[in-house]
Copies of this chain bind each other. A is one copy, B any other.
């Protein structure tokens, strides 16, 4: 958690861009949500022209982001607004500011149907979770 899948045109982002984007996303979950950094997985999905269609037309300047939140779920509208505003802010330099159209949605999936390195992740906010964050790796 979270799993980000970022669908882009081919060559939309350089390796340096990808590193920056992955770091910006990771930093949000680390500093704001207080998750272990290694929880944050980002997959860049480059797609050739005429692969992504929006409103019945080929959309070759469009970035579509799909996120699964597992470790933490929002519990009210204010939290959801806060989260989405924060994610939009970190994305802006890579979508809006570069002239891409973009869209994002998140799902929230069951925490207890999730394993990291075969281990059950510790409860949210627990001492064990803080230790995983400190170690930046899962330990039994």
Contacts and interface: CB of A to CB of B under 8 A. Distances in A.
Most chain B CB neighbours (cut-off 10 Å) among A41, A58, A66? A41
A58 to B, nearest CB: 7
Contacts of A7: 43
Chain copies in the assembled complex: 3
A74 interface: yes
Contacts of A55: 26, 36-40, 136
Contact of A106 (B22, B51, B88, B109): B109
B110 A18 contact: no
A42 interface: yes
Contacts of A110: 80, 106-108
A103 interface: yes
Main secondary structure of the interface of A (DSSP, over half): mixed
A50 B84 contact: no
Contacts of A52: 41-43
Given A64-B3, A84-B113, A118-B96, A19 B103 contact: no
Interface string A21-33: 0110111000000
B50 A81 contact: no
3 nearest A-B residue pairs (beta carbon): A22-B53, A37-B55, A106-B113
6 contacts: A19-B56, A26-B55, A37-B56, A44-B53, A105-B115, A108-B110
